[in-house]
Amino acid sequence: MRLQVKPRNAVVFVDGYYAGVVDDFDGTFQRLHVDAGQHRIQLFLAGHRLHTQDLYLQPGNTFTMRHTMEPLEAGEPPPEPPTGTPRSAGSSPASIPPPQDVAAISGSPANSTYGTLAIRVQPGDGLVLIDGERWNGNEAIEVQIAPGAHTVEVRKTGFRGYLTEVTVKRGETTRLNIALAPE
């Protein structure tokens, strides 16, 4: 997906889980990599109405979402920020900011209570799993994620698998460069 949303600091949720801010996914070479299928995309920005759009994304296509966030009317109650639902055991979402953190995220990245995990993989079409959750990307993936230990696994047919645990710190970027070795 490509997002063309104003203002660019609106927070993006996919199926109730925090994905980043619009500015991360609005450039010529920037995309929000989401598996094909049915998804609920929500945009949240303090002082604005929550925007929700249900989409069916087709494999191999880029969908561009265009929207301008609408400010709240005087006296209109602020919307509740999206929250994810628990997933099956062994699988965890990238990050779910509690409601009080969403305003901080939509205001300034420096106020974020999350870190960034930046993964570069060669060859670029390997399957990347973060805490059991699949992430699509060609050779580079950046994920806003809760601080702490996370398991990263990369698989590709014809190559030896890669498995490691990384520790992500709040407000910092943890970089991981992975070159898969042929079997």
Q: What residues pair up with 93 in beta bridges, in sequence order? A: none
- Is residue 99 within a helix (H) or strand (E), and if so which, with residue range? helix 99-107
Give the chain's domains with CATH numbers. 2-108 (2.60.40.1120), 115-179 (2.60.40.1120)
Contact at 8 Å (CB) between 39 and 70? no
Contact at 8 Å (CB) between 178 and 154? yes
Side-chain half-sphere exposure of 49, counting CA atoms within 13 A: 13
100 SS3 class? helix
Note down pLDDT in tens along the chain; length 183 residues.
888 999 988 988 888 888 888 888 877 778 888 888 888 899 999 889 999 998 888 887 888 899 999 999 988 888 887 765 433 333 333 433 433 344 444 443 444 577 888 888 888 788 888 888 887 666 678 888 888 888 889 888 898 888 888 888 888 888 888 888 888
Question: Using CA of residue 106, residue 112, residue 113, residue 115, what is the dihedral sign?
Answer: positive
Q: What helix, strand, coil percent values describe the chain, rounded to 5?
A: 10, 45, 45
